[in-house]
Amino acid sequence: MYRNAVKAERHAKSEHEEKAKDEVKRLKEQQATERREKLTIIAKYGVPFLNIGRHCLKLEHVQQLRDLRDRLRAALPLRRVKRFSDWLKTQGRPLNPLYAVTQEDIGTARHTPAPISREVASLPQAKLFLEYAKAVNAERYRVTAIKMDANGEKKVMILVKQNGESRGFTPEELVNRMPEIVKLARRGENIYYTPLSERKHHILIDDMSPEKVMQLQKDGFKPAVFLESSPNNYQCILTFPKFQGDFDREIGNRLTTILNKRYGDPKLSGAVHPHRAPGFENRKPTHERKDGTFPRVSLSYAVRQECQKS
């Protein structure tokens, strides 16, 4: 009786899995066609645009596959047959002692960190941060919230850990704080990240035009991230190792000055500098639209690499 129920359940699950494979296959074929058509057009504008287009299309396709798999997983037939151990209990039959688990076993079990909740993982800002953090590859990230008044005055708040530390969050800690960060953004705060590492520089080039974005890559620099902080205005992160010497800070500051004078904001000089967080609004008053909305910061490019040119 129990075996028949299990067999029927497995058959239903197998049918669902076959249909799911067909849907995934169809989507991949559609994506392959889209890549051929779009990249052929983009290639006419040169290699830098082709690289950015290829990467953005990849991110879009990966997200489409994730969404499809999530929908298919949600549609998976629910388990209706009880576990064999539960079925034995309903029949009044003893459990096999070989499979019994004692309270002592539970108490001495190895502790594993709690996984990121589905609610947090589903936030667009969390997904973008994980994509961004994978590319930048920093050890920690500081989160800054800045409220800008209409007259230009700023109110700055740095998120800290519960014990008062302000050295930033690990990627896992930051993702788990994302609902709190999203609430700050909804009340009108501008959200910024600052990547922090003991052994790596994470240099910001700010206020870049599309032409400067292309020139930077033509000159041999390998960015980890490009952010479109406002329409046709970009921020870039370059990651490369520190020398582990007495002059690392001075080297980072000097290089930030040189690169920003050449490609970005000539006023920017500090090696450790915040930048706008992807997925959040750029609520600078000058960017407010007629309908009262603001542009969102987009992650235009994200590749985990160190810039040897730097």
Which pLDDT value is given to residue 11? 66
- Per residue in 114-146, pLDDT (tens digit) is 466 777 878 999 999 999 999 999 999 999 999
Contact 221, 303 (CB under 8 A): no
Residue 23 has a CB neighbour count (10 Å cut-off) of: 13
Check: CB of residue 263 under 8 Å from CB of residue 212.
yes
Task: Please compute the mean of the pLDDT values over residues 80-102 and round it to a whole number.
Answer: 47
Nearest to 141 by CA among 128, 122, 154, 123: 128
Backbone angles phi, psi at 84, to 5 degrees: -60, -40
> Are the C-beta atoms of 233 and 300 separated by less than 8 Å?
no
CB atoms within 10 A of CB 203: 28
pLDDT value of residue 271: 87
pLDDT tens column, 169-209: 999 999 999 999 999 999 999 999 999 999 999 999 999 99
Provide the whole-model pTM.
Answer: 0.62
Tell me the backbone φ, ψ of residue 37, rounded to 5 degrees.
-70, -50
Q: Say yes or no to pLDDT of 112 above 90.
A: no
Structure confidence at residue 2 as a pLDDT band (50, 70, 90) = very low
Residue 92 has pLDDT above 70, yes or no: no
Angle at 152 between CA 144 and CA 161, to 5 degrees: 15
Residue 154 bridge partners (DSSP)? 148
Whether pLDDT at 81 is above 50? no
Residue 161 in this model has a pLDDT that exceeds 60: yes
Say if residue 74's pLDDT is above 90. Answer: no
Neighbouring CB atoms inside 10 A of 198's CB total: 10
Q: What is the DSSP letter of 211?
A: H
The single residue listed with the structure tokens 């009340």 is 187
Supply the mean pLDDT for the chain.
83
The pLDDT tens digits of the residues spanning 237-249 come to 999 999 888 888 9
Mean pLDDT of 29-58: 88
pLDDT band at 56 (very low <50, low <70, confident <90, very high): confident
Residue 73 structure tokens: 């997983």
- The pLDDT score that the predictor gives to residue 90 is 55
Among 45-49, 113-117, 217-221, 292-296, the range scoring the smallest mean pLDDT is: 113-117
Q: What is the pLDDT of residue 55?
A: 85
| 17-31 pLDDT, tens digit each | 888 888 899 999 999
